[in-house]
């Protein structure tokens, strides 16, 4: 297992280098002079040159890139043009909102996707299988912002059961925190649940036809025991990969959902940064997203090695 983890960590290094190089290159893709943008429209050419020198924008590109890398190592993501505050500080302030939303969405995806996949995969061709298949197709095809607006219309405006916008920290109580996250988490998590259900159904059908499952059934074990103790562990191996990808997708997909539900998280911060052309903020959010995705991929690889002994022996 340690050898597998070491190999995955080594593979991450070139990936991070490529990602940081692409993120640094964003400075050349945004129209206009960054120094002039920071100094303001009314700044004189002398003031623009002073800002350019302070930010190191007058240095060669390689020097700027290595300064950017050293800043990342020190945890310095620069200063936001718009908010005039450290980007890392702003990301840390908004991270609890996005992290809470993503985690509740993951719980929704698991609570819906795993039972649906097991039911469909253990009874292929039955009405339960057709119903879960139809639900999965609908979940994948429906845009999350459309589902979010429908949920607000029904549960907030009509039934007045849950708040439509805003966020309450967990420190103020479990229900106030959860009540503000339920609707956006459902809108965000149902598409992931559909993907998990489809993958788990396919894996379950394949595993249920294996000899060891037939042997367990022939020995008189209950259907529940065969499903949960013998079939599900092996069927969940490819599903773990899909789950890891879906968690990364959920983190990235919060941008639209946070805008719909008025949540001041990283997604909303990213949207506002793009609209205002705030380059350091855009770079900071992208770098954070890359690191989060890499960590999730690493955790998926480790879980894959835990569930599949052949992956450990091949490392």
253's tokens: 């997909």
Cβ atoms within 10 A of the Cβ of 114, count? 18
pLDDT for 57:
75
Residues 290/282, Cβ–Cβ less than 8 Å: no
Question: Would you state the pLDDT for residue 38?
Answer: 66
At residue 311, the pLDDT reads 59
Residue 73 burial (C-beta neighbours within 10 Å; 0-12, 13-18, 19+)? exposed
In angstroms, the Cα distances linking 108 to 171, 184, 195, 234 are: 22, 11, 13, 22
Task: Using CA atoms of 145, 89, 54, 63 in order, give the dihedral in degrees to the nearest 10.
Answer: -80
Q: What is the pLDDT of residue 78?
A: 81
SS3 86: strand
pLDDT of 150 reads: 93
How far apart (Å, rounded) are the C-alpha atoms in residues 142 and 157?
A: 21
Pick out the chain residues at pLDDT < 50: none
For residues 292 and 252, give the distance between their C-alpha atoms in angstroms, rounded to a whole number. Answer: 10
pLDDT of residue 112: 93
Phi, psi torsion values for 86, nearest 5 degrees: -60, 135
Query: How many whole angstroms from its chain centre is CA 17?
Result: 21
Round to whole Å and give the CA distance between 217 and 231. 11
Task: Look at the pTM and tell me if it is higher than 0.85.
Answer: no
Q: What is the 3-state secondary structure (H, E, C) of 230-279?
A: HHHHHHHHHHHHHHHHHHHHHHHHHHHHHHHHCCCCHHHHHHHHHHHCCH
Three-point CA angle 306, 310, 315, nearest 5°: 85
């Amino acid at each position: 297992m340690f050898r597998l983890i070491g190999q995955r960590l080594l593979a991450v290094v070139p990936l991070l280098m490529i990602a940081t190089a692409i993120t640094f290159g964003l400075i050349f893709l945004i129209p206009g002079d960054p120094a002039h943008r920071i100094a303001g429209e009314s700044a004189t050419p002398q003031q623009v040159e002073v800002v350019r020198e302070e930010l190191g924008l007058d240095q060669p590109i390689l020097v700027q890139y290595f300064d950017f890398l050293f800043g990342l190592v020190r945890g310095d993501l620069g200063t936001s043009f718009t908010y005039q505050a450290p980007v890392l500080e702003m990301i840390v302030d908004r991270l609890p909102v996005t992290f809470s939303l993503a985690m509740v969405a993951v719980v929704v995806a698991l609570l819906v996707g795993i039972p649906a996949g097991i039911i469909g995969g253990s009874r292929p061709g039955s009405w339960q299988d057709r119903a879960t298949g139809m639900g999965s197709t609908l979940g994948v095809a429906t845009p999350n912002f459309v589902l979010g607006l429908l949920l607000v219309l029904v549960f907030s405006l009509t039934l007045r059961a849950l708040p439509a916008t805003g966020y309450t920290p967990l420190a103020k109580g479990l229900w106030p925190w959860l009540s503000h996250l339920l609707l956006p988490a459902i809108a965000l998590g149902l598409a992931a649940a559909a993907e998990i259900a489809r993958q788990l159904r396919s894996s379950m059908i394949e595993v249920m036809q294996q000899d060891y499952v037939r042997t367990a059934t022939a020995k008189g074990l209950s259907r529940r025991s065969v499903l949960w103790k013998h079939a599900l562990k092996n069927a969940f191996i490819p599903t773990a990969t899909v789950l890891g990808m879906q968690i990364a997708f959920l983190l990235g997909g919060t941008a639209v959902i946070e805008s719909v539900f008025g949540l001041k998280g990283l997604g909303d911060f990213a949207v506002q940064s793009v609209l205002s052309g705030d380059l350091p903020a855009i770079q900071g959010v992208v770098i954070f997203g890359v690191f989060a995705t890499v960590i999730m991929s690493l955790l998926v690889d480790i879980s894959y090695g835990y569930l599949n002994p052949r992956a450990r022996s091949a490392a």
